[in-house]
Structure 1
Amino acid sequence: MPENNGDHTKTTLQRTLEKSHDFDVKAVFLRANQMTKANFATLIQACIVLVVVFVIIGAITQPYITVHDDGSFTIQHQSFIEIATVFVVSPLITGLYMLGLSQARNTPRTVFALFDYIPLIFLLALTQLVNSILMQLGLVLLIIPGLYFWMATSFSLMLVADKSLTPLKAILLSCRVFNAYWGQITALFMIMAVLAITIPLTLGLSLIWIMPLYFSLIGVLYEKLIGGEQVRTEAKPKERNESSFDA
């Protein structure tokens, strides 16, 4: 929610970029956990739909995978398959993010909201493709830049869906938001990484909770740091360009 500050009202995003939020890592995580409990049925159903889609994609691509004697494998038409997968999956992942966001805004929706963003498939797929390229380049270079882009672009799909930003502006703004509170957000991702270690130890059972929790957490972070106000995409002549990075 906007807060009054002197003679004018600052948006949530403005306060984030000025680093004026009170950010309690524990409180954010506990809220995400409580939201997951309250909306578990909807979230787990949406997660199951996403997993089923991945299984179907795997079954379709199986004939194009050749396993060699040394255990390595090659995928025929790999680039085409990867791009097609992004087009199919990106609107569904966006739908899951937005389910988490709707709960953070106290406006819970049904599992069918998962499909609301299919009309934005081209913008969302382009955003996800750029995110993937940045992450892969970062991992190839020094690993840490790849991890940075993985975390820093977490809000980009939601910015396209929620604020109608272009892919480039969404990615840049997502990075600026992450940079403002990179320590706290990284700590939350580290908590999720630790929880992910339990997945193989529990034969995958803990994924039933961890996967919905992740989307709830991103929803809470988005609402806390970006909020529901309209995002300005064009700066006035005397204002700083919104496309620049804030480290």
Structure 2
Amino acid sequence: MPEENIIVSIGGSVERAVKGEYSIDVKAILTEAWQQTLQSRMSINIALILVSVFGMVVSFISSSFFGGIELVINDPELLQLINVIVTIAVWPFMAGIEMMGVFHAVKKPTRSKMIFSFLHRGSWVALCALLTSLLIGIGFQFYIIPGIFLAVLLSLTIPLVVEKRLTPVQAIVLSVKALRFKIVSLLAIYLVLFLTLIALTFPIALLIESSFAPLAVMLFLFGLSYLAPWYYNIKGVLYREIFGVFMEQKNVENGLSHAANTDSDQNGSDDTFSA
């Protein structure tokens, strides 16, 4: 029989997510993401280096246009404007790194060039990044706790824009609706990541004024080469467990109905704003 490509959803689903019908095993998610990191951290690390260099170039050029880096640093309004410019420029490429974690969660290999794979959603991604940054910033203005909660609740918006093809507002609303049910477990996961980052900075803090400072920096960068991919792989596993991931699979059985349609058909979002 001829092979037939079908689209299936792996993991959770949007319908169950908004009802809170999913579970988060903190230890299992951290462990699975760590195993993925040990196997596939290089693609994410190389991609992060490329995007970071690009972001620094954009920042330097933008600062030069406004009078130089020193002038920008001393002017809060200019600094905020540069941050907006860098966000718009960088996040269409960062979406590829976010999706690397999602791909790893469904056992699909990735390559660093994935940072170019989702530029067709670039304008939506940039707008979503700006909106989430604005909301999180407002949250931190009302003491720290609201900002932390918003940062967690909005942590999966970019994959929703890319993989589920939602608009930024749809992604933000859906993310808040779904993640609010497991906020304690999510906070525990991100707390582990934060504490790991703090632990990595200890050698630098202790040895910064000694002759061992270069060694401390090297240890920090080495640890970061594991922590950064772990962070994105954790987000990928969380996304799979909460919202599910659509994948094409081959099927040779005749008459098998499609278990799922592409999400662009389901949510009917208008994609005319895509880059």
TM-score by length of 2: 0.74
Is 2:33 the counterpart of 1:32?
yes
Cα distance in 1 for partners of 2:193, 2:183 equals 15
Give the corresponding residue for 1:106: 107
Instruction: After superposition, give the CA deviation of every residue in 1:141-168 in whole Å (9 maximum; x if it has no partner).
Output: 1221111111111111111110110110
Cα distance in 2 for partners of 1:49, 1:190 equals 27
Give the corresponding residue for 1:237: none
DSSP 3-state at the match of 2:107: coil
1:190/1:75 Cα in 2 relative to 1: closer, same or farther (>3 Å)?
same
Within the candidate set 201, 206, 210, 2:227 is matched to 210
Higher relative contact order (CA 8 A, sep 6+): 2
Is 2:190 the counterpart of 1:156?
no
Aligned-CA RMSD value: 2.4
1:215/1:11 Cα in 2 relative to 1: closer, same or farther (>3 Å)?
closer
Task: After superposing the two structures, state which structure 1 stretch, 37-46 or 74-83, moved more.
Answer: 74-83
1:190/1:38 Cα in 2 relative to 1: closer, same or farther (>3 Å)?
same
Query: Unpaired runs of 5+ in structure 1?
Result: 4-9, 235-247
Give the corresponding residue for 1:233: 267
Give the corresponding residue for 2:49: 48
Is 2:190 the counterpart of 1:189?
yes
**Cα deviation, residue 75, structure 1:** 5.5
Amino acid at match of 1:218: K
DSSP 3-state at the match of 1:78: helix
Maintained 8 Å contact 1:65/1:75: no
**Cα deviation, residue 193, structure 1:** 0.6
Find the structure with the greater CA-based Rg.
Answer: 2
Amino acid at match of 2:69: I
**Cα deviation, residue 76, structure 1:** 6.8
Query: Unpaired runs of 5+ in structure 2?
Result: 1-7, 204-216, 247-261, 269-275
**Cα deviation, residue 194, structure 1:** 0.3
Identity of aligned residues (%): 24
Instruction: After superposition, give the CA deviation of every residue in 1:44-88 in whole Å (9 maximum; x if it has no partner).
Output: 1112112222332343326533369xxx82257434422221111
Is 2:70 the counterpart of 1:66?
yes
1:136/1:87 Cα in 2 relative to 1: closer, same or farther (>3 Å)?
same
Give the corresponding residue for 1:240: none
Instruction: After superposition, give the CA deviation of every residue in 1:191-236 in whole Å (9 maximum; x if it has no partner).
Output: 00101102322433221111111111101100111002555537xx
Segments ≥4 residues shifted beyond 6 Å: none
